[in-house]
């Protein structure tokens, strides 16, 4: 879910009347969505990490999008873990990692977390796959730490300026958005998530329940607002030009969150890139059509 979707959700909440929705107990959520072995001490965090596949296989690190969690990658992970080491984690402020004790949700902090995780797992290099916000974090890492990245996969990545969001300015969190930590009705959460799918009917009740539960991890909703307040963009072109890793851009042609036309901005700046698009698919191909969309990813990682 994008930051704009979160704001739209809050507007709808206030328009339709809101009900108090408290956080869920962490122990209950961890029992349902994690195992004790899934948590790693990384950069001062209790990082929620899922690490599957052969330890000697080529490692691939997956970075989810805004207000998502590592669970968004599960179908792709099952398809890939026979021949790759598949590592995915909840970015600070999201999912079962929860709030960052530092209160820092900048991209610089994300770089520290990725480096610390790679060092803890004894990974000199890895391929990175990032979705939306996670795509921006992935290409920033590839630009600033090129010696640590083998291949780069960007799925509808964030990063270029858009109307109402320029470079070098810290956005203000709208007053209406500040009610997010207090309310989260199911029907309005569904209406904010549905636009991420080319076919909204694909959004299953179980998936909706998972997104809701990950937003109800203690402190996550406030962390989301804190991240929004720290989300200043920098001009991506100088960084993109520094990327050495071969890059694959994956995009749903029906993406209503980050339009497929944005792919041209990336191909113009990247030195080695190719684009694969998916007809009729929206912003989360790994959830909407995992069996179809994992094929070009697997082929690229095999090169």
Q: Domains of the chain, with CATH numbers? A: 3-302 (3.40.50.1820)
SS (H, E, C) the chain: CCHHHHHHHHHHHHHHCCCCCCCCCHHHHHHHHCCHHHEEEECCEEEEEEEECCCCCCEEEEECCCCCCHHHHHHHHHHHCCCCEEEEECCCCCCCCCCCCCCCCCHHHHHHHHHHHHHHCCCCCEEEEEECHHHHHHHHHHHHCHHHEEEEEEECCCCCCECCECECCCCCCCHHHHHHHHCCCHHHHHHHHHHHCCCHHHCCHHHHHHHHHHHCCCCHHHHHHHHHHCCCECCCHHHHCCCCCCEEEEEECCCCCCCHHHHHHHHHHCCCEEEEEECCCCCCHHHHCHHHHHHHHHHHHHC
pLDDT number for residue 16:
47
Query: What are the residues facing 62 on neighbouring strands?
Result: 88, 129
Residue-level pLDDT, tens digit, the chain, 303 residues? 555 555 555 555 444 445 789 999 999 999 999 999 999 999 999 999 999 999 999 999 999 999 999 999 999 999 999 999 999 999 999 999 999 999 999 999 999 999 999 999 999 999 999 999 999 999 999 999 999 999 999 999 999 988 878 888 877 766 656 777 788 878 878 988 999 999 999 999 999 999 999 999 999 999 999 998 898 889 999 999 999 999 999 999 999 999 999 999 999 999 999 999 999 999 999 999 999 999 999 999 998
pLDDT at 175: 62
Q: How much is the pLDDT for 260?
A: 97
pTM: 0.92
């Amino acid at each position: 879910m994008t930051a704009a979707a979160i704001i739209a959700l809050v507007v709808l909440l206030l328009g339709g009347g809101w009900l108090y929705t408290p956080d869920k107990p962490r122990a209950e959520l961890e029992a349902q969505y994690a195992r004790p072995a899934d948590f790693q001490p990384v950069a001062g965090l209790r990082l929620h990490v899922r690490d599957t596949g052969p330890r000697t296989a080529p490692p691939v690190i997956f970075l989810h999008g805004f207000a998502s969690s590592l669970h968004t990658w599960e179908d792709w992970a099952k398809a890939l873990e026979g021949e790759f080491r598949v590592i995915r984690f909840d970015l600070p402020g999201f999912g079962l990692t929860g709030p960052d004790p530092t209160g820092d949700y900048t991209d610089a902090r994300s770089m520290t977390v990725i480096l610390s995780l790679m060092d803890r797992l004894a990974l000199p290099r890895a391929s990175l796959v990032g979705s939306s916000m996670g795509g921006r974090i992935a290409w920033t890492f590839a630009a600033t730490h090129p010696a640590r990245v083998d291949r780069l996969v960007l799925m509808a990545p964030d990063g270029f300026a858009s109307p109402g969001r320029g470079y070098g300015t810290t956005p203000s969190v709208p007053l209406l958005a500040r009610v997010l930590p207090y309310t989260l009705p199911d029907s309005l959460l569904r209406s904010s998530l549905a636009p991420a799918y080319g076919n909204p009917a694909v959004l299953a009740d179980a998936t909706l329940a998972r997104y809701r539960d990950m937003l109800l991890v203690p402190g996550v909703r406030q962390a989301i607002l804190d991240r929004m307040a720290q989300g200043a963009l920098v001009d991506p072109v100088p960084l993109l030009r520094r990327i050495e890793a071969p890059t694959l851009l994956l995009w749903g042609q029906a993406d209503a969150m980050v339009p497929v036309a944005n792919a041209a901005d990336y191909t113009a700046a990247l030195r080695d890139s190719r684009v694969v698009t998916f007809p009729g698919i929206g912003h989360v191909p790994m959830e909407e059509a995992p069996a179809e969309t994992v094929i070009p990813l697997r082929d690229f990682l095999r090169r």
